[in-house]
Amino acid sequence: MERGSSKHSPRVDDQMSSEVSGLVQGPGTGGSRVDEFRVPEPAGEDQPEATTAPAGELRTGAPQGMSSQDVEARSRLGRFIGMAALPGDRDTLVANARENEAPADVLAALESLPEGTRYQTVSEVWAALGHKNETTRW
């Protein structure tokens, strides 16, 4: 017994199957490339190339008040400050960053912190270095 649709004729089934074959056979980055008409045309001479960040900023979940570059830079700073150093003052943070083999620019930034202040979190250190943290949502 041949399997088929009870609602359509075999000819209509074949037509419907060919219409969706490009979608079923696997989408690529810009959609399926099985059918030639699905291939996107390149940008013209006077048109900009397509981008995933049309406004120049990737919308990857950066908190309000910070750009994605700020988040990345704060994260980089935090990689070299261990939890054992917090809460801690400038000398503790610098010593811990040296133990974690921090690059020279991170060490220089930590050495520029004011003396006598204890920092509870990396965000407090980041703010003391003159950068913005995210704004509160509540």
Residue-wise pLDDT for 47-85, tens only, equals 776 665 556 555 566 667 777 778 888 888 999 998 889
What average pLDDT does this structure show over 18-41? 62
pLDDT in tens, 85-124: 989 999 999 999 999 999 999 999 999 999 889 999 998 9
CB 126 within 8 A of CB 112: no
Q: Which of 112, 115, 116 is nearest to 126 (CA)?
A: 112
In the prediction, which pLDDT does 92 show?
93
Supply the pLDDT for residue 26: 60
Q: What one-character DSSP code corresponds to residue 89?
A: -
The CB-based long-range contact list for 59-66 (8 Å cut-off, 24+ gap) reads: 63/134, 63/135, 64/134, 64/135, 64/137, 65/132, 65/133, 65/134, 65/135, 66/132, 66/133, 66/134
Rounded to the nearest angstrom, the gap between the alpha carbon of residue 47 and the centroid of all alpha carbons in its chain is: 26
> Taking the model in full, what pTM does it have?
0.54
Q: Which residues pair with 88 in a beta bridge?
A: 119
Identify the top-confidence range among 10-24, 29-43, 48-62: 10-24
Positive or negative, the CA dihedral 80, 82, 86, 92 is negative
Q: What is the DSSP letter of 47?
A: S
